[in-house]
Structure 1
């Protein structure tokens, strides 16, 4: 549990398998090295170090909140979700999220993100594929 009340769960391989958070606006520091190296050998050339909980919500900039994420996904669909949550918070609404990175085998790179979120209690579910070069 973080100081913001964000709860992370890891598996026996140390991979983040679940994060639950009642989001709040703020700002956290980035760790550019961690963003460049997260995922180790499983990281792909087109990957960003994606924050599961964005730094605009005081999500950690460290390895405890980062996964290898396709750059297009990170900068488009995932960013759109973050902007939706940010706008709701600015309107005074409550935002709760549950993010489950799903992995293939022993890979440190998630293949899918299952995301459930509530804005003022209204629930939505989204599944995002962490694309691999050549996949759609």
Structure 2
């Protein structure tokens, strides 16, 4: 995956692919990883393998989820939102080391760099 972008849209009935999540990252997947989504199921993210990546479980359930929660709250408040996500890979790894995300909520721009490692701080600009 080089990048993904789109308008924030909430799914009426989110759908997941447990097998794609389990295979995310291939041989580069770590025991502490989840099968993360670039675009989560709650946002109508595709169930295809290309939408999944090996993501540190604490990051997936922490900072990445917090970003998605911000999108969901904005959408619930009737605001429009757009996003662009660009993963950064080192060498031939199938596991990104960093996730760059830019998003706009009602014309207010945000950006964040989320390291795919527990304990490393995100760099947010708002």
For residues 102 and 60 of structure 2, what CA distance do their matches in structure 1 show? 17
Report if aligned partners of 1:30, 1:62 keep a CA contact under 8 Å in 2: no
Counterpart residue number, 1:38 = 24
Post-superposition Cα deviations, 1:65-87, rounded to whole Å, max 9, x if no partner, equal: 10110000000100001110000
Counterpart residue number, 2:107 = 121
Counterpart residue number, 1:12 = none
- 1:112 aligns with one of 98, 101, 120: 98
Q: After TM superposition, what 4+ stretches of structure 1 lie above 6 angstroms from structure 2?
A: none
For residues 80 and 62 of structure 1, what CA distance do their matches in structure 2 show? 23
CA RMSD in angstroms, aligned pairs only: 1.2
Is 2:46 the counterpart of 1:60? yes
List gaps (5 residues or longer) in structure 2: 121-126
Length, aligned pairs only: 119
SS at match of 1:35: helix
By how many angstroms is 1:38 displaced? 1.1
SS at match of 1:60: coil
Higher mean alpha-carbon deviation, 31-40 vs 85-94, is at 31-40
Counterpart residue number, 1:98 = 84
For residues 28 and 66 of structure 1, what CA distance do their matches in structure 2 show? 15
TM-score of the pair, normalised by structure 2? 0.90
List gaps (5 residues or longer) in structure 1: 1-15
Counterpart residue number, 2:2 = 17
By how many angstroms is 1:34 displaced? 1.1
Counterpart residue number, 1:6 = none
Report if aligned partners of 1:28, 1:60 keep a CA contact under 8 Å in 2: no
For residues 44 and 73 of structure 1, what CA distance do their matches in structure 2 show? 13
By how many angstroms is 1:28 displaced? 3.0
